[in-house]
């Protein structure tokens, strides 16, 4: 099988290592309700919560786009 270019590339190899920490913090907050600083959501730094919002928004958009691709592929296969 020959690939001309990757459809999806993992960005962890090209981003700042500190950003990976923010991604992990967001994932833990989303999955487990664990925040990096003591207290609840309102006790977290505003800039961190904004970063979490951006990450969540980008993740949701990626999932929507990916689902649309899968649905289009299924439609093509069923019609053709």
Instruction: Show me where the domains of the chain are located.
Output: 11-79
Is this structure's pTM higher than 0.85? no
Residue 18 has pLDDT above 90, yes or no: no
pLDDT tens across 21-53, in order? 999 999 999 999 999 999 999 999 999 999 999
- Residues 76, 70: Cα–Cα separation, whole Å: 10
Q: Contact, 57 vs 51, CB < 8 A?
A: no
- Residues 22, 12: Cα–Cα separation, whole Å: 12
Residue 63 has pLDDT above 70, yes or no: yes
């Amino acid at each position: 099988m020959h690939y001309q270019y990757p459809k999806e590339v993992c960005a962890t190899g090209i981003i700042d290592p500190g950003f990976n920490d923010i991604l992990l913090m967001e994932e833990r907050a989303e999955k487990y309700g664990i925040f990096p600083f003591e207290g609840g959501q309102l006790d977290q730094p505003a800039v961190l919560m904004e970063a979490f919002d951006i990450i969540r928004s980008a993740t949701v958009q990626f999932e929507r786009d990916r689902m649309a691709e899968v649905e289009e592929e299924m439609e093509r296969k069923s019609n053709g």
